[in-house]
Amino acid sequence: MSMPSRVSRRRPLWGLVALVALIPLVLAGCKGNEQEQAPPPGSTTSEQPPPQATVYTRAEIATFTPDQIEALRKGIAVMQKRPATTPTSWIYQANIHGVPVEGDNCPASTDPMQEAWSTCQHGSFFFLAWHRMYLYYFERILRSAIQEGTGDPTYQFALPYWDYSTHQLPDPFRMPADPSNSLYVSERRPLCNNPQPGQECVSDAQGSSQQAMTLVPFCNCPDGQASCDGCTANLTPDETFGGEFTPQPEHFLNQFGELESQPHNVIHNRVGGPTGWMSDPDCAARDPIFWLHHANIDRLWQVWLNQNSGRLNPLGSTAWTTTKFTFFDEKGTKVEMTGCEILNMVTQLDYQYKDLPVQNVQLCAQAGQPKPETTPAPAEQVQELAASPSQGFTLGSKPLKVAVPVPAKARDRITSLAESAQPERLRLVIEGLSLVHHGGVYEVYLNLPQGQKPDPKGPYFVGLISLFGHLGQGQESSRSFDITDEMHNLAQRHEWNGKVELTFVLSGGEETGVVAESTPAQLVRFRRARIITRQQE
């Protein structure tokens, strides 16, 4: 074995940068919330333990130097050589997310089932916390693998993130397109590995987290439940940032919070396509880009908190704060973690995102302190205004138009809502969604005129539908969109004629000849579409 050689260029002054960057964080941490408020009950912001010595800074992948990219490649290669049943191996870590079975987009696992395999949390309010823990231990394992691979035991590695709102799949993950590059996998949508002029892997609409950022509630109570442990009642999951309350961990539930739907699910499906790894939860974490995708999702969680105005983690929920999840550290030692332990990434864990202060973070109440109360949502009246037949609809590679008949009374109501600004909102709900095939991202349009080219930047675009989960397990979810502004704009343009027609278009229909031929005829089903309105009582 050769002596570890130290190449100082490989180790930029991360330590110093981190330390300097910490000073304002520590000060901000002592102040607590930015706005002048009494600290909420349960907040122990002023009693935070002192930050740990090393804080690793996660930076955008495009800022990585060639040396840093090389180190990343070496570390992944080290992990990939370890046997699947070793907790610090690439496959063991990927199988914590999901274990491939027959019919998946990657070969079925032949290894005996191991501890913590197939435990990822999707479709519930555990989504963000579980993935933060998963990334944290993965980062420690990868850092130590990089130290082994580079021969530099002091190498200061932090996971890069991929901000898809600014650029396409990063070059080092596409090139060279051969096994010498451990960041490359061929099992991706061809357009992502081989971009063509004018055809994108990820469009602006697909990479956007804008809608999720506008939402204040972290979580909702399941349908029909007037209250639950720490979440807001009378909301659909996609009116929350972080997803639906569930009393216990569930591998997959399928009621996605807004950030999980968009951009999370959308990016999985865009990168994986119908047959690639990223679109299949049992294969996704085998693709190195998975970890950069999730670092970005984890970063967006803090971006959301920093906007404050009532945005808070659901510390009122005992399930969310105390449920224990199992992982392994860089020594292969089993560890358990709870929601309470991952709230402040700097002081409780050991990382931060470049140029992103950690603000508006409450910690769990200490023994004897009262639990924070969740303000109950104002009582609301939900009224159905219109509904499509509930015969069921199938989305494939061709656009589908669905008429939603509007009864006369509802038409007047919609007209008056569309014409004058009122607090009452109109919502389009797509019910009974199920996944037939991986990889689809659908654009939804409201009253797209005949012959008009569907354009997500245009005035008829409502939003995206993108499911990420297991096939054929009978799980159904719903997706809903606020269409008040779209209706208002229709009325403004004198295009509102009392009729509603929805158009569903597979994103990437532009790929004719590249992927379209291999696109399955059916990707997603749904039962019906409804238009509802909510009025505060």
Site residues, ligand C2O (CB under 6 A): 97, 120, 122, 131, 264, 268, 284, 294
Judge contact between 229 and 216, C-beta under 8 A.
Answer: no
Q: Which is nearer to ligand C2O, 441 or 446 (CB)?
A: 441
* 309 CB-contact burial (10 Å; exposed 0-12 / middle 13-18 / buried 19+): exposed
Minimum distance from CB of 268 to ligand C2O (Å)? 6
Is 433 in a helix, a strand, or coil? strand
Q: Which is nearer to ligand C2O, 230 or 469 (CB)?
A: 469
Q: Which is nearer to ligand C2O, 130 or 157 (CB)?
A: 130
Residue nearest ligand C2O by beta-carbon distance:
120
Long-range Cβ pairs for the range 61-70 (8 Å, 24+): 61/160, 61/161, 61/162, 61/170, 61/172, 61/292, 62/166, 62/167, 62/170, 63/354, 64/160, 64/172, 65/9, 65/12, 67/7, 67/9, 67/10, 68/10, 69/172, 69/183
Q: Closest Cα to residue 251, out of 378, 98, 58, 366?
A: 98
DSSP sequence for 182-233: TT--S-S-HHHHS-BTTB-SS-HHHH--HHHHH---SEE--TT-S--SSSBS
Minimum distance from CB of 270 to ligand C2O (Å)? 12
Tokens 């809502």 found at: 417
Judge contact between 187 and 277, C-beta under 8 A.
Answer: yes
Q: Which is nearer to ligand C2O, 393 or 468 (CB)?
A: 468
Residue 239 CA to residue 254 CA, distance in Å, equals: 15
Q: Which is nearer to ligand C2O, 264 or 299 (CB)?
A: 264
Q: Which is nearer to ligand C2O, 131 or 427 (CB)?
A: 131
Q: Which is nearer to ligand C2O, 123 or 149 (CB)?
A: 123
Rg (alpha carbons) of the chain, rounded to whole number: 24
Q: Closest Cα to residue 442, out of 523, 500, 518, 530?
A: 523
Minimum distance from CB of 363 to ligand C2O (Å)? 25
Residue 241 is encoded by which pair of tokens?
A: 């940032």
Minimum distance from CB of 295 to ligand C2O (Å)? 11
Minimum distance from CB of 468 to ligand C2O (Å)? 7
Judge contact between 26 and 128, C-beta under 8 A.
Answer: no
Residue 484 CA to residue 326 CA, distance in Å, equals: 43
Tokens 């659908």 found at: 442
What phi and psi values does residue 158 have, to the nearest 5 degrees? -130, 145
Residue 156 CA to residue 293 CA, distance in Å, equals: 21
Q: Which is nearer to ligand C2O, 45 or 124 (CB)?
A: 124
Judge contact between 181 and 128, C-beta under 8 A.
Answer: no
Minimum distance from CB of 454 to ligand C2O (Å)? 27
Residue 257 is encoded by which pair of tokens?
A: 């919070």
Q: At CA 266, angle to CA 435 and CA 89, rounded to 5?
A: 90
Q: Which is nearer to ligand C2O, 284 or 349 (CB)?
A: 284
Minimum distance from CB of 98 to ligand C2O (Å)? 8
Minimum distance from CB of 326 to ligand C2O (Å)? 15
Minimum distance from CB of 162 to ligand C2O (Å)? 12
Q: Identify residue 344 by its one-letter amino acid code.
A: N
Is 26 in a helix, a strand, or coil? helix
Q: Which is nearer to ligand C2O, 162 or 496 (CB)?
A: 162
Q: Which is nearer to ligand C2O, 131 or 140 (CB)?
A: 131
327 has which bridge partners?
Answer: 335
Q: Which is nearer to ligand C2O, 11 or 479 (CB)?
A: 479
Minimum distance from CB of 284 to ligand C2O (Å)? 6
Residue 233 is encoded by which pair of tokens?
A: 């009642």
Is 97 in a helix, a strand, or coil? helix
Residue 533 is encoded by which pair of tokens?
A: 């309105």
Minimum distance from CB of 275 to ligand C2O (Å)? 18
